A and B are shown apart, each in its own frame.
Chain A
Amino acid sequence: MELNRLQRSFLEYTAALFREGFLDSQFSQLYQLQDESNPEFVVEVVSLFFDDSERLINDLSRALDQTNVDFKKIDAHVHQLKGSSSSIGAQRVKNSCVSFRNFCEAQNIEGCLSCLQQVQQEYLLIKNKLEALFQLEKQIVAAGGAINTVEWML
């Protein structure tokens, strides 16, 4: 049946995301917070994350482009990105922020630039994957089903 197939795809897809370290247990917590009174919670929060991250990444590239680089400001931005990515379980984005902060502390511009690139890459990756995931969810709901996260067991 179509619904079963969709639901199986959903589980396999998310399992892969967890396995490959794109997402961690914090992400599954988000689903626990979703219920009848907040049926779109996960999509809402993740959308917030997308908006916020894009803004931060733009701010970061601008800041690194200055003649006098303000490492404190950059560190603050990265700290925030680290916080928000960890809040939704975007593990690889979070990890790239950790290395970024080390280079900030060392005031190493080259290092920072390469970290920024990495952060951007990871962000785009997870964005694509989550958008695909939400598409799948939509299809499941449209087919009359519901998202089943029990089997995540995280």
Chain B
Amino acid sequence: MNLGGSRAVNSLTIQSSSTTRRPGDGVVDPFPAGLRVLVVDDDLICLTVLERMLQKCLYEVTIHNQAEAALELLRRDKTGFDIVLSDVHMPDMDGFKLLECVGLEMDLPVIMMSADDSKDVVMKGVTHGACDYLIKPIHIEALKNIWQHVVRKKKQDRKEMEFEQSGSVEDGEQQQNPLEDADYLSSPYEENRKNSNKRKDEKDEAEEMDDTSTLKKPRVVWSVELHQQFVTAVNQLGIDKAVPKKILELMNVPGLTRENVASHLQKYRLYLRRVSGVSQHPNGLNSSFMGPPDVTFGSISSLNGLGLQALAASGQIPPQSLSTLQAAALGRMAPLIDQRNIFSYENQKFRFGEGHQQLNDNSKQLKLLHGIPTNMEPKQLATMHQSAETLWECPSPIPIKPKRLFSDTVGSTTIKESYFK
């Protein structure tokens, strides 16, 4: 086995395969062997040990010691990995930021790791949507079962979709045919895989979804611009009345199918639902969330380092600028935004349950960042809240993934020049 060449500290990628079973061996199902794991950690010793451990678990491991490069790798091939393990403290990008991006763009399960076992940090992992948090030093036993997060996520996605199906959650919601969204659910197990090994769960997925998951549809890349058109169309129709067919018509993008829009709409709805639940969940208090949805922008200037993302999310910026800003902020780390401070991780105020004052700050922060449409009536918020509550009663926890990409742009288009420094 070749462990790769130099151990330079700069961007290091090593791909090692430890699957030894070949198709045609017949009898034994290799899963979870061959699970494709991406590990991101600036500590080379840790990376090396983890890589070896994961190989011992018969996983297919890729290691990276630079978060940025890892993110690029993921972006280039969104279906190239099944699960991501990331350290919390990294010099080039905060682990929670990576967690968000991965959840946002690739919708993969992410496990956070750290020697830091303080409750606050672990809580951050929870609220940012990590599916697990491992305390270092990590034992191989802890790694043996990470495949469960991949399977669980699949099941949850399907369950959430069924929730949509039942129509009991939101009024006036268009029924989505689960079969049409099959391509979305089974996408991480798409046919275009390097490894010719067909995994049993892939077949299971196909069976459970009545064979439509075997449809080979090219994945639509929801670029910032495309998503913007989508959001505009949705807002024009009204979130409750937005149906894929009409959205598709409004968007008028050649080559886009109703199915593409349908699955994207589903994700968007789930995002809205989760976002309404995020400010709830950590502390369980309802009253603060029911505060005025129209957050004044006087408060923005007091939120240090939140930058343009917050502004974008609060819907005060027109779509075109938003696209540019998001592109700049999301992928290319524009110098004017200090990405690492976006959530003020070191900010001691970011503690849940520490007094009502802190709570309001939290709620505001979260609201700004996750772009709850500012024109939403309190009643609408209540509906979303209730649906969020229902979701929270599900037996398995639903990871919260703040999807900044889905920030809404409803609202006035006045731009306050002073914010663009």
- Interface on A for B, CB 8 Å cutoff? 26, 29-30, 32-33, 37-38, 41, 44-45, 48-49, 52, 76, 79-80, 82-84, 86-89
Contact = CB atoms under 8 A, between A and B. Distances in A.
B1 interface: yes
Interface in B40-92: 42-46, 48-49, 52-53, 56, 89, 91
B137 interface: yes
B1 A84 contact: no
Contacts of A76: 89, 91
A38 B1 contact: yes
Nearest to A82: B115
Nearest to B48: A45
Given A29-B139, A32-B140, A38-B3, A87 B52 contact: no
A89 B3 contact: no
A87 B137 contact: yes
Contacts, number: 61
A127 to B, nearest CB: 14
B63 to A, nearest CB: 13
Contacts of B1: 37-38
Interface string B10-47: 00000000000000000000000000000000111110
Per DSSP, chain B at the interface is loop
B52 A83 contact: no
B335 to A, nearest CB: 21
Q: Among the interface residues A41, A44, A48, A88, which one has the most CB atoms of the partner chain B within 10 A?
A: A48
B136 A83 contact: yes
A48 B52 contact: no
Nearest to B42: A80
Q: Among the interface residues B43, B49, B139, which one has the most CB atoms of the partner chain A within 10 A?
A: B49
Contacts of A52: 43-45
Interface string B133-171: 000110110000000000000000000000000000000
Contacts of A44: 48
Given A83-B136, A84-B46, A33 B115 contact: no
B115 A86 contact: yes
Given A45-B48, A76-B91, 15 more contacts: A29-B53, A32-B56, A33-B49, A37-B1, A38-B1, A38-B52, A44-B48, A45-B45, A45-B52, A48-B7, A48-B48, A52-B45, A76-B89, A79-B115, A83-B136
Q: Among the interface residues A30, A33, A87, which one has the most CB atoms of the partner chain B within 10 A?
A: A87
B113 to A, nearest CB: 9
Nearest to A50: B45
Contacts of A45: 45, 48-49, 52
Nearest to B50: A87
